[in-house]
């Protein structure tokens, strides 16, 4: 299975353990997508070396790089075209602009790709436009969700 794992916070070393475990499963080809740096734990964390034995790691520049709800990737469509994922695990909140960007491109060009999202917030909350619409679409277009809490 060709698995795209997109998570802005995976620039932090210990967070990549999840990706390493998925990549160790037989038959999985994993591509990790992160920004080159992210503001995490009140400091900038650089992606660092992007060579791993078990998975491929690509960094793309982002807009609004300090905002985990408003950021988007520059060049995501090219990465998707080159990698051709069977499954996309978008480790972003379902109301974020990054989720909207991933869903738009995946459903437009890779309609067979299964999509899973992650959410840390497991309570009902009302969001302003466009975030309530993104969340509504996400819940209707994805095939799975991982919810913490």
Q: pLDDT tens-digit profile of 35-81?
A: 999 988 889 999 877 778 899 999 999 999 878 889 999 999 999 99
**Token pair in block for residue 85:** 């994922």
What pLDDT does 139 receive? 92
Q: How far is CA 97 from CA 56, 65, 103, in A?
A: 24, 12, 10
Using CA atoms, how far apart are residues 63 and 72, in angstroms rounded to an integer? 6
CB 112 within 8 A of CB 85: no
What pLDDT does 122 receive? 65
**pLDDT higher at 127 or 42:** 42
Q: Is-above-0.85 flag for pTM?
A: yes
Using CA atoms, how far apart are residues 79 and 72, in angstroms rounded to an integer? 14
Q: How far is CA 96 from CA 35, 56, 103, 130, 134, in A?
A: 15, 25, 11, 9, 7
What pLDDT does 123 receive? 67
What pLDDT does 80 receive? 96
**Token pair in block for residue 129:** 């436009």
Using CA atoms, how far apart are residues 25 and 23, in angstroms rounded to an integer? 5
Using CA atoms, how far apart are residues 14 and 16, in angstroms rounded to an integer? 5
Per-residue pLDDT tens for 114-125? 999 998 876 677
């Amino acid at each position: 299975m060709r698995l795209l794992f997109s998570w802005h916070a995976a620039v932090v070393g210990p967070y990549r353990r999840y990706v390493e475990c998925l990549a160790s499963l037989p038959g999985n080809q994993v591509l990790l997508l992160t920004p080159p740096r992210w503001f995490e734990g009140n400091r900038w964390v650089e992606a660092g070396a992007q060579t791993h034995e078990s998975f491929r790691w690509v960094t793309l520049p982002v807009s609004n790089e300090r905002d985990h709800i408003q950021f988007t990737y520059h060049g995501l469509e090219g990465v998707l075209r080159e990698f051709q994922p069977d499954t996309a695990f978008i480790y972003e909140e379902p109301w974020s602009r990054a989720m909207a960007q991933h869903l738009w491109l995946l459903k437009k060009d890779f309609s067979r790709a299964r999509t899973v999202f992650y959410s840390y917030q497991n309570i009902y909350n009302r969001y302003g436009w466009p975030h309530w619409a993104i969340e509504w679409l996400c819940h209707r277009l994805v095939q799975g969700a991982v919810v913490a809490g």
